[in-house]
Amino acid sequence: MKIKEGGFDPKVIKALVMELTMFPVSSFVELNNHQIGRVVSTNKSHPLRPVVEILFDEAGDQLPKPNRLDLKEMPFLYIAKTLSTDELLQKSIE
């Protein structure tokens, strides 16, 4: 890894950022509309907008069949926060 002008090579940083994701596959997330889902794939070109399988609706009711949303295609929906397994269980009990 080369160091350029006191920092890392921009190509290396860009490659690293493209491989890392804030929302790993299988992580649980809550959207801004209070739906809860699980990340099923990432969008390399839009790392903050993965594909999410919605498991619980806005009221907290479990969906009979999960619904897939590609957040890249839905500009008004975004991930408000990630949920631990304990938080998911707590929300499903409420």
Spatial contact of 40 and 25, defined as CB atoms under 8 Å apart: yes
E strands of the chain, at which residues?
3-4, 7-8, 28-31, 36-41, 51-56, 62-70, 79-83
Tens digit of each residue's pLDDT (9 = 90 or more) over 23-54:
999 999 999 999 999 999 998 888 899 999 99
Looking at the domain covering 22-93, what would its CATH class be?
Answer: mainly beta
Whole-structure pTM over 0.85, yes or no?
A: no
Tens digit of each residue's pLDDT (9 = 90 or more) over 52-70:
999 999 999 999 999 999 9
> Whose CA is closest to 35, among 93, 79, 87, 72?
79
